[in-house]
Amino acid sequence: MEVKDIIVREIDRVPEQYLTEILDSIRSLETKALEEGIGTAIASETSLKKDWLNSEEDEAWQDL
């Protein structure tokens, strides 16, 4: 059985009063994943900037 199926089964057994807390946890994890993705993009930009910001790159892309 897949993890997602197990989670759905478990949620079906959780009392209604706790579902809001579960939803909050899911949304928190989604936010965390988004923030980590943004952090990676920013780190990559800093690292790759030296390759992008040079006259050879400008010349290669000037006709596009």
For 15-58, write each residue's pLDDT tens digit: 999 999 999 999 999 999 988 888 787 777 777 777 777 788 77
Tell me how far CA of residue 1 lies from CA of 5, 10, 41, 47, in angstroms.
Answer: 7, 13, 34, 41
Residues in the chain: 64
Residue 44, classed as helix, strand or coil, is helix
pLDDT (0 to 100) of residue 6: 96
Centre a 10 Å sphere on the Cβ of residue 31 and count the other Cβ atoms it contains.
Answer: 10
As a whole number of angstroms, the distance between CA 40 and CA 3 comes to: 27
